Amino acid sequence: MSSQPIRSPVRILGIDPGLRRTGWGVIEVDGNRLVYVGCGSVEPPDNLPLSSRLLAIYEGLAAVLGDFRPLEAAIEQTFVNKDGVATLKLGQARGVAMLAPAMFGISVSEYAPNQVKKTVVGAGHADKNQIMVMLKVLLPKAEPKSPDAADALAIAITHAHHRTSAAMRLKVVGL
């Protein structure tokens, strides 16, 4: 009789990038069970120059990565809004947020905002209140202090649900 391989929980970091607040959320997934580990946000002072704010985001996320030691990371894709300058600045924050896990040797998966909402709430156009309600159901011990931390947890949950298909896509592409 062969025994089943012992599977260990996988720790996932979700990141909701932003220049004012970059939310982060850490969960563990063991099969279909989700466990809340921690969440928060990196909030560089608004009066810093852009380069210093980006550095603060990197250092904050590096501290989270060092403290929580996730094996995988996920980030929300940028949506293009009407303000091109704001979109470009968000893209810079997003680039730094993707760099931090990469510097720790962790691959980063990307998810569209509507995919995150559909995964967590069941509807692609859910609002922040609906996400908070579902977070309480899926992660009862989680008490995010900001919408950014809540969104980061939702991104981590999305990755937990889609991670095997993301891994298969990487194998097919040969990365």
* Active site positions, annotated: 16, 76, 148
Q: Residue 31: what residue type?
A: G
Q: 81-112 burial string, b = 16+ CB within 10 Å, else e?
A: eeeeeeeebbebbbebbbbbbeeeebebbebe
- The sign one gets for the Cα dihedral 73, 77, 78, 79 is negative
In three-state secondary structure terms, 138 is helix
Give the chain's radius of gyration (CA, Å): 16
CB 24 within 8 Å of CB 17? no
Q: Residue 94: what residue type?
A: R
